[in-house]
Amino acid sequence: MNLVLLFVAQLIYGLSDLGKKIILQRTGFGWHLLGNIPFIAVSLAALLGFAVQMFVLSRYEFSKTIITLGVLAVLISTALGVLVLHERLTALNALGVLFAVAAIVFLQLK
């Protein structure tokens, strides 16, 4: 499994979601988003992540790939939330992230 490509795909998704979150905080949710160029741009950026994800899925084991994407989503979204949005990470949350990292390590063992 290509962890670098999976990381890139999930990072693109995470940054796209972060961009949408920031825009939504400023504008709110509604039909006006269909004409909001920054919102459209960050939404379309997720297509690049999707393309990378499909490439990886076409070449590697489905079960390991999907679980690894999920774990990377936890790690990346947690990091972006804490670093960019200044969200609070409790000890219990950190333990959950640690379990997610342990899961990816166990998946890679043969």
The predicted structure's pLDDT at residue 1: 57
| Residue 35 reports pLDDT greater than 60 | yes
Q: What is the DSSP letter of 59?
A: T
Burial class (CB in 10 A: 0-12, 13-18, 19+), 64: middle
Q: Which structural domain range is residue 50 located in?
A: 3-108
Average pLDDT, the chain: 88
Model confidence over 43-57: pLDDT tens digits?
Answer: 999 999 889 888 988
Q: In total, how many domains does the chain have?
A: 1
Q: What is the pTM of this model?
A: 0.79
CA separation for the pair 75, 46 (Å, rounded): 18
pLDDT for residue 66: 82
> 3-27 vs 37-57: helix axis angle to the nearest 10?
160
Q: What pLDDT sits at residue 106?
A: 82
What mean pLDDT comes out for the span 11-29?
A: 92
Q: Say if residue 69's pLDDT is above 70.
A: yes
